[in-house]
Amino acid sequence: MLKAGRREYVQVLRLLESFEMEEVHAAVKAALQMGAISFDAVKHLVLCRIERRPPRFDLDVYPFLPRTTVQTTSPASYMCLTTGAPT
């Protein structure tokens, strides 16, 4: 599963080859809010944003799209990277 997640991440990053950072960022943010964190979801949201149309996105119709809940990470959590101390 880790390999598949990396592949999805790279695919999302590759959207920056064709679309502006602002568009991709907004799509990723919207996908996270919807709980749909896949390349297909992000690409759909980018295209909807560019075409200025509302996304037609009923997650019940797409059971294969991964869903998740992402919590906000505290910046203090990253301090161990500079100090070498475990969290």
Percent with pLDDT over 70 in the chain: 77
Q: Could you tell me if residue 35 is left (phi over 0), alpha (psi between -120 and 50 degrees) or otherwise beta?
A: left
Percent with pLDDT over 90 in the chain: 32
- Total domain count, the chain: 1
User: Tens digits of per-residue pLDDT, 17-58?
Assistant: 999 999 999 999 998 888 877 898 899 999 998 988 877 766
Structural domain for 27, as ranges:
2-83
Phi, psi of 18 (to 5 degrees): -115, -20
CA-atom Rg of the chain in angstroms:
15
pTM of the model: 0.62
Across the chain, mean pLDDT equals: 82
